[in-house]
Amino acid sequence: MVLYLIGLGLGDAKDITVRGLEIVKRAHKVYLESYTSILQDTRKEMEELYGREVIEADRLFIEQKCEAMLDEALTHEIAVLVVGDVFCATTHCDLNIRAIQKNVQVVSIHNAGIMTAVGCCGLSLYNFGLTVSIPFFTEKWRPYSFYERMKTNMAAGMHTLCLLDIKVKEQSMENLIKGRLIFEPPRFMTVNQAIQQLLSLEEEKKMDVFHPSTFCIGLARVGCPTQRIVAGKASDLLRVDFGGPLHSLIVPCLKTVTEEENIMIQHFAVKESDLVLEKEEDKKEDD
């Protein structure tokens, strides 16, 4: 039969397309991939709206029980709901490949995803270079390929979209070793944390990519009623409270910004009243 990959869009459960909803109503089983993004609605609210059970497919499910779901799709219509669009995360591209390798027919129902919705900040999607992902640093793990890619984009006159890390259902090293299914609280990287990591890389690598004066745009909850977009230099955005997840960061290439793009950026320019968080220097003095 068919594995349907159904994009839910970025807002809430109501953003599903009519075609997507028709499939959800008739499918044998409906799974919600809850590992690479979050929706503003809970699974329960979704079940009430769609009038049927929605099974959570979390990280463990995708890693361990996915094969069983694909086997089911050989004989039944199975729907997998994906927040945003369906091919914007490697997890879903892998799922697609695994299904095709098993001879499962895959049908995608597209929706709005973050990689195009960021156009709402006014920068033209045609002027973006490589998209990068910024992972949470640990004491011993500080990858920096995203910082190098940002440099490549800038040199080519292109803007950089930074997608920010999500950690859900993570186990501590101790729980992992002891095989205990105890999970750490979810963590979603904020615009502020992403800026801090970029500044710390600049101090370390000194490749002249990202400074406190670098102009950037923070975006939170794009496509939701509480969407927030603020543009300004990195040191100012550090003092903006962007609120709840999810967040993304854009580092535009100012050298090539067009007049139209500039009008929109100015529209989102940071205001004195946005600077609600303490300055970094003041924080250090308090410590």
Binding of ligand SAM by 15 (CB under 6 A): no
Rounded Cα–Cα distance for residues 192 and 238 (Å): 5
Minimum Å gap between C-beta 122 and ligand SAM is 15
Pairing state of beta strands 247-251 and 2-7?
unpaired
Pairing state of beta strands 215-220 and 228-233?
antiparallel
Contact between residue 37 and residue 163 where contact means Cβ atoms under 8 Å apart: no
Stretch that binds ligand SAM, among 18-26, 60-68, 168-176, 246-254 (CB under 6 A): 246-254
CA distances 229 to 91, 95, 117, 145, 245, Å, are: 27, 32, 12, 26, 13
> Which one, 89 or 209, has the nearer CB to ligand SAM?
89
Binding of ligand SAM by 16 (CB under 6 A): no
Subset of residues 28 to 87 that bind ligand SAM, contact rule: CB under 6 A: 36-37, 82-85
Say what the alpha-carbon torsion angle 113, 108, 79, 75 is, to the nearest 10 degrees.
Answer: -160
Peptide bond into 70 cis (omega under 30): no
Q: Coil, strand or helix: which one is 88? A: coil
Binding of ligand SAM by 121 (CB under 6 A): no
Binding of ligand SAM by 197 (CB under 6 A): no
Binding of ligand SAM by 123 (CB under 6 A): no
Stretch that binds ligand SAM, among 146-154, 221-229, 263-271, 276-284 (CB under 6 A): 221-229
Mark residues 133-172: x for contact with ligand SAM by CB under 6 A, - for none: ------------------------------xx-x------
List residues binding ligand SAM (CB under 6 A): 10, 36-37, 82-85, 88-89, 113-114, 163-164, 166, 219-223, 246-248
